[in-house]
Chains A and B, each alone.
Chain A
């Protein structure tokens, strides 16, 4: 008979081994699926890796895709630490990009060293408010934040669509519904071959890591996340912590939106997020909400996305295969956590009876 018991002795090394084998199992199962489609899984995975890291250009592209993923994962991990299920990152990215675009279109005459920080500030403010509204209701009335934040995604999407097809439509685009391209002073400068966003992402990883582990606020977030009551008894203003943290969470997502709009697209469109808000849920959970691990996991996922576009060309496998692969990896990792938390042991029936 199988007996299950809680274990506390799982070392970091064991945990890493369990998670890695879960990812391997996911790759194997998707490999079977690829075989069913009539392709050789090894060559598909190999060309995926080649598509992501095969040349300097491809590596740059992979990092370009990793940048928003890292920043948004940092934001989501802050919220998840509070057990606040913020799945509104998509909307927060869009509203951040909205704030940045508003500045870029309206203050074109400003020099870039004033305009860019202004755009960054506006994006953090807009993304932060988009997160803080559900956070307020959760803090005050325990309103379900999962659905609230998700509904805010659709609202943001409709607002951007409205702007793109209505008031912000580029008059110079011959009726084509697009928002005007930013002027040169509203575009992020490049730094070692890629827009400066990657440096911002790295700095943010360090800042958030220190914030969560070595500041009083960060400690309070961890306490409230473990138990709101404990936080209350310890004299922490729980409401404030929730709203404050989710403002930061949304603000980080908003900043990612500004970086995408300014550094990559040079304009705002309804496709600005490319699903990053959802993918980042997976990456932040896989990183156990730890900032340094987020870099590694996000680069891995960015390489899957980048490699996914490559296998579409090479094997005519739809790009969405990469999304299935990501889902599978998280399924397996979620399942594997059982073996980190619990221990299974086989015991003979007779011994149970003897015990009784």
Chain B
């Protein structure tokens, strides 16, 4: 396996990175949003449409993020204000998002991204860091959105563990009524972080349709949103671990394609199973070991109603 494989794994892992970070922020506030796949699809199609219409990468990314954020806003209204069941609301968001994407994606097949935009997203070497042997080639010879991913991961970590708002956020997710009693505006925290999560999921989708693929295909996410939800558990709700999970699964995502060269005589469809099977195995291992650590936010998935204790 050569170095280019690891560099490609980072690229394939970047959409996962954004989506995991988004879902992690959401879950820290105690809301379990299973609509990641739907928000990613909404972002992917909106970003692609905006890219073709404007040719401007910033506008395309903003459009994609707004679409993801809009999906998250619907989820927040339903689950925070109206206390609807979070699991079902998230599932509905995914169903709605995939309908939205296939509706908006009508006629986009075969369209291509303007070349100026391709240039904007193309790889460039970071001075100094890019010259480190091996690591430099894998991590620091990438496109702008990969670097943004690193930075956002660090910001998320600092925010959650080192700032007052971040600590408040954790309080909301861990013990909502205590946070409420301490004077934290619980609903506001939930809304902000659910929507922030949606923005990141929209960006994850845009990365797929604008950079990774880059063309429009039906169901472009292929279950990555769900894998992201599973990887939040794998990362134990710790933003710094997100990179490990994302790039590991980026590697699994492309390994089948790479193995083809070696003529292993295994069907492509069977190798394609790998990310899904490994996700299941990870879920099982984490759940077997969880009995004594328990790292999920304690109020995750529970609707909060002040008068109901």
Binding site for B on A (CB under 8 A): 4-6, 85, 87, 137, 141-144, 146-148, 150-152, 154-155, 158-159, 161-162, 165-166, 278-279, 281-282, 285, 318, 320-324, 326-328, 330-331, 334-335, 337-338, 341-342
Contacts and interface: CB of A to CB of B under 8 A. Distances in A.
B102 interface: yes
Contacts, number: 134
A5 B306 CA distance: 10
B187 to A, nearest CB: 12
Interface stretch (B112-120, B207-215, B271-279): B271-279
Interface stretch (B82-90, B136-144, B155-163, B188-196): B82-90
B255 to A, nearest CB: 15
Q: What's the interface size class on B, roughly?
A: 35 or more
A162 B270 contact: yes
Contact of B89 (A144, A165, A323, A334): A334
Most B Cβ at <10 Å: residue of A6, A282, A335: A335
B301 to A, nearest CB: 10
9 closest A-B pairs (Cβ-Cβ)?
A327-B96, A323-B99, A162-B269, A143-B287, A338-B82, A320-B102, A334-B84, A320-B103, A141-B287
Contacts of A338: 81-84
B244 interface: no
A143 B93 CA distance: 23
A151 B226 contact: yes
B164 interface: no
A162 B85 CA distance: 37
Contacts of B226: 147, 150-151
B78 A323 contact: no
Interface string B202-238: 0000000000000000000001001001100100000
B95 interface: yes
9 contacts: A6-B305, A85-B87, A137-B283, A141-B284, A150-B226, A285-B88, A323-B96, A331-B74, A338-B84
B152 interface: no
Interface of B: 34, 74, 77-78, 81-85, 87-89, 91-93, 95-100, 102-103, 106, 223, 226, 229-230, 233, 267, 269-270, 272-273, 276-277, 279-280, 283-284, 287-288, 290-291, 305, 307-308
Nearest to A154: B276
A337 B267 contact: no
Nearest to B101: A320
A127 to B, nearest CB: 18
B293 to A, nearest CB: 13
Given A324-B100, A334-B84, A141 B288 contact: yes
A144 B95 contact: no
Contact of A341 (B83, B267, B279): B83
Given A327-B92, A330-B95, 13 more contacts: A6-B307, A85-B87, A137-B284, A141-B290, A144-B283, A144-B287, A151-B223, A151-B276, A154-B273, A278-B95, A323-B95, A323-B103, A342-B305
B87 A161 contact: no
A83 B82 CA distance: 20
Contacts of A337: 82, 84
Nearest to B270: A162
Contacts of B287: 137, 141-144
B73 to A, nearest CB: 12
Contact of A146 (B87, B89, B103, B267): B87
Contact of B283 (A148, A320, A331, A334): A148
Contacts of A330: 88, 92, 95-96
Contacts of B99: 320-324, 326-327
Contacts of B93: 327
A91 B191 CA distance: 34
A295 B141 CA distance: 57
Contact of B95 (A141, A151, A282, A321): A282
Contacts of B307: 4-6
Contacts of B276: 151, 154-155, 158
B232 to A, nearest CB: 10
Contacts of B305: 4, 6, 342
